[in-house]
Chains A and B, each alone.
Chain A
């Protein structure tokens, strides 16, 4: 069965060859059939989805104007607030939280006519690279159920790769869209910081978090970007710029495009078979007319340690709000308020979340602030300056998305080994720039991801080069056999 795309389904819907309700029922049936094995969803919103689909069909039959994503079933990572629909962040501390309002992206997607199938699993509070840190259960990789789907947006990636949802949104603080996109063989884009409103996104590290799409091809990525980008006065870090129609970058031509290959992202730490696939893609782009040249981003190796100071520091502040007072878990029989806070937080948070809160609290505490936090912010500037210099010369950079293909559950039990999963993606968040992961072939029957990195608000170049490669290669559209779930 060929997995459907937004642009393919849009025509079927417009020509009345299928109704939104039929399409939604197909998706819900698929979830019912395979999600007990994939476990991509934390909550399935069956009744709401059918209701919305019927409304879309009614509007269509009356000839009313419909949004650009009308009738397309999608999924949201469970850290985006959905009014009256449970939103847990895959954490026990929010196991029963019903948001009183919706995230801006959800409002925008509803406005565009898309249909929410449910909320997807993730590493608790988006802290992790495998979904093994989910407070509920891990999600499985549709390519091999013994392997992780990546993380933290592993549920969204698995839902799109397995055909449960046509597209999904995730969030990316250090690679949480791109790495699972790579592991599951789908397209994932982390937009420029500020391009997509974070209003209603449950915060992990506010200066790094950004929402973006998982799709089955590059055209769909542009279509979802059209729906979710834009200034929002409810997010004070939202960028006031002109947002383009991203579909105009879907051009099959990269003649004379200048592509840089940063040498620090290759060699040690990257699996040789993965590197070989990336080199193969680069050769292909050169054949297609791009001007490819090696370059250097000298502070790359310092990005990972700087991130593991900055992100925990921000999280220690952001997660202070989970105290059992206004929502979520509260332990019973606490004698006083401090004991209620401390015991609620100990019971509600998983081990990795506690670790990052403590790490951040330590880095910000009196006597250590300059040595850790301030130092990390200065290094962050150097990492950003490396990219600024590179983009004086290049239109885009190419690296691997992740150092390996998807690994087996339990195989990265060491904390540092897990952190190193994001070595190729973290520098991009520190610099606030956009990056797209495109599937490119298989290694040991598991998908490889190619990362395109652009300058701030340069998503257009990423879409153009990814689209061109997609149109000229048979390596970018990957579909798992789903042997293990039938």
Chain B
């Protein structure tokens, strides 16, 4: 086994996922299976190979800094689970 239940809990915390105990056990089992299947990558010699994050030769796409239409406020807020005076309302932060 490559990762432990503690790793699952840590990654779930980073991912902002509050998993049930049963979910943690299932994710541990499946993640280890997946990570095992990735071991094969260690067989590939990648010395001197550049990482390829993106396939198109596009760099620094710029546009003129011109004013253009934006979405009206009511459209932006139309999906808000809770809103107050034109703002998204959330539970207390501190």
Task: Identify the closest chain A residue to B43 (Cβ).
Answer: A302
The residue in chain A whose Cβ has the minimal distance to the Cβ of B53 is A377
Cβ-defined partner of B51 (8 Å) among A324, A325, A381: A381
Q: Are A305 and B38 in contact (CB under 8 A)?
A: yes
Q: Which residues of A contact B88 (CB under 8 A)?
A: 325-326
**Inside 8 A of B31's CB, which chain A residues have their CB?**
355, 358-359, 362
The reply to whether A339 and B18 form a contact with Cβ atoms under 8 Å apart is yes
Q: List the A side residues contacting B63 at CB < 8 Å.
A: 233
A384 to B18, CA, bound (A): 38
Contact B61 A236 (CB under 8 A): yes
At the interface with chain B, which of A17-25, A28-36, A151-159, A346-354? A346-354
Chain B's closest residue to A377 (CB) is B51
Choice from B42, B54, B75 contacting A237 with Cβ under 8 Å: B54
Instruction: Give A354 to B17 CA distance when docked, in angstroms.
Output: 8
Number of B positions contacting A (CB below 8 A): 50
A residues in contact with B23, CB < 8 Å: 346, 351, 354
**Docked complex Cα distance between A370 and B30 (Å):** 22
Besides the known contacts A327-B80, A339-B91, 7 further A-B residue pairs in the complex with CB atoms under 8 A apart? A335-B92, A337-B91, A346-B17, A354-B15, A358-B11, A372-B38, A378-B50
The answer to whether residues A345 and B58 also contact, given A98-B78, A302-B44 and a CB cut-off of 8 A, is: no
Chain B residues within an 8 Å CB radius of A419: 34
Q: Which residue of B lies closest to A319 (CB)?
A: B15
Q: How far is the CA of A281 from the CA of B45 in the complex (A)?
A: 36
**Which residues of A, 233-273, contact B by the 8 Å Cβ criterion?**
233, 236-237, 239
Distance (Å) between the CB of B66 and the closest chain A CB? Answer: 11
Q: A299-B44, A325-B90, A351-B26 are in contact. Are A361 and B37 (CB under 8 A)?
A: no
Known: A306-B41, A336-B91, A362-B3. Contact between A98 and B79, CB under 8 A?
A: yes
In the complex, 5 of the A-B residue pairs with CB atoms within 8 angstroms, ordered by the A residue number, are A305-B37, A308-B34, A335-B92, A358-B12, A415-B30
Tell me the smallest distance from the CB of B70 to a CB of chain A, in Å. 10
The distance from the CB of B19 to the nearest CB of chain A, in whole angstroms, is 6
Check if A432 is an interface residue, CB within 8 A of chain B.
Answer: yes
> Is the Cβ of B53 less than 8 Å from the Cβ of A193?
no
Chain B positions within 8 Å of A343 at CB level: 18
Interface residues of B in 17-60 (CB under 8 A from A): 17-20, 23, 26-27, 30-31, 33-34, 37-38, 40-42, 44, 46, 49-56, 58
Which of chain A's residues 354-401 have a Cβ closer than 8 Å to chain B? 354-355, 357-359, 361-362, 365, 372, 374-382, 384
